[in-house]
A = this chain, B = another copy of it.
Amino acid sequence: MRNVTKETITQAFLDYSGPETTPRLRFILEKLVQHLHDFTRETNLTHDEWRKGLELLQKTGEITDLERNEYVLLSDVLGLSSLVDMVNSPDSGTPSSVLGPFHIRGAPDLAVGGDLKKDNEGATVIVQGSVQTPDGKPVKGAEIEIWQTADNGLYSNIDENQSDFNLRGHMMVGEDGLYRFTTIRPAPYTVPDDGPVGELLHATGRQPWRPSHLHFIVTAPGFRTLVTEVFPSDDPYIDQDAVFGVREQLIMQYVEQTDLANLPDGLEVGKEVTLPFYTVDFDFILVPA
């Protein structure tokens, strides 16, 4: 097109696309460029603002390495990562939430009733519940992967004072669909705010904290894999998660228990639990694949 104008440039872009473009790529680019151009027209974006935007992307690249992906973090704080989770979640079942950068493969086996707390600081927390179908029946053959921070807000793979795989486990759930383990309460922590994403947070008066959470991946034959997190209702950051991971259905309670008679059976460390301890009841609802 030789007469490119503010009004015709979006169509000019679409017209350039050749027949070898897959329909899905064409659709995505059409929507992407339509929105990018509308954004530019609606803001009358200046050259200086355009340059700053490209510089933000460039700085994001400069700080990204094998251990830190600032592009994912940028996507996280813009709500994009969580929105991608949500548009790909089924409408029923337990909602998904961000996988995050701290998952590692190879967590050790953890029996039902097993202990993750070991010698970690903090009161004992018993997390328990079931893996269910949408109509409340136990899911057979479910597996649960669990990971969380220690009391200091750090995950084992970024804290040299923790043993490998501290507070990580992989559980085969029984025929009854019930899971249970002992652990400690994880702590809130901040996303990295010493890079370009941090600059954006500071410029907009945003805090970098995430509420404390337990990470789970729940799988079972014939069901959609669930990647999620659960959050305590009394966390100080529950209403301002920097990466938009909190969902109403992912909120749980730490219930204080002051009577050892309330201790569930079948805990690996049952006799060692001291008062007060806490219980968390949370059921996972998987939907058929």
> Shortest Cβ distance from A174 into chain B, in angstroms?
30
How far is B39's CA from A28's CA once the two chains are assembled, in angstroms? 8
A43 at the interface (CB under 8 A from B): yes
A156 lies within 8 A of chain B by Cβ = no
Contacts of A275 in B (CB 8 A): none
With both chains docked as a complex, state the minimum distance between the C-beta of A88 and any C-beta of chain B, in angstroms: 6
Does A244 count as interface, using CB distance less than 8 angstroms? yes
Cβ of B36 and Cβ of A78 under 8 Å apart? Answer: yes
Nearest chain B residue, comparing its CB with the CB of A46: B88
Interface centre among A17, A33, A80 (most CB of B within 10 A): A80
Is A6 interfacial (CB-CB < 8 Å)? yes
Contact across chains for A58 and B64 when beta carbons are under 8 A apart: yes
Complex CA gap A71/B205 in Å reads 28
Contacts of A35 in B (CB 8 A): 35-36, 38-39
Note all chain B residues with C-beta closer than 8 A to A21.
203-205
CA distance in complex: A78, B38 (Å): 13
Chain B contacts for A25, CB-based, 8 A: 203-204
A118 located at the interface, meaning its Cβ lies under 8 Å from any Cβ of chain B in the complex: no
Any B CB within 8 A of the CB of A240: yes
The interface size of chain A toward B, counting residues with CB under 8 Å, comes to 75
Contact of A289 with B by CB under 8 A: no
Question: Are B248 and A2 in contact (CB-based, < 8 A)?
Answer: yes
Knowing that A20-B205, A27-B43, A50-B84 are A-B contacts, what are 9 other residue pairs whose CB atoms are under 8 Å apart, sorted by A's residue number? A1-B240, A9-B79, A9-B82, A12-B244, A28-B43, A35-B39, A44-B87, A54-B72, A58-B64
- Give me 27 A-to-B residue pairs in the complex whose CB atoms sit less than 8 angstroms apart, sorted by A's number: A1-B246, A2-B247, A3-B246, A3-B247, A4-B241, A6-B86, A9-B79, A9-B82, A9-B86, A13-B79, A16-B204, A16-B240, A18-B206, A19-B205, A20-B205, A25-B204, A31-B39, A33-B79, A37-B83, A40-B80, A40-B87, A44-B88, A54-B69, A54-B75, A57-B57, A57-B71, A58-B64
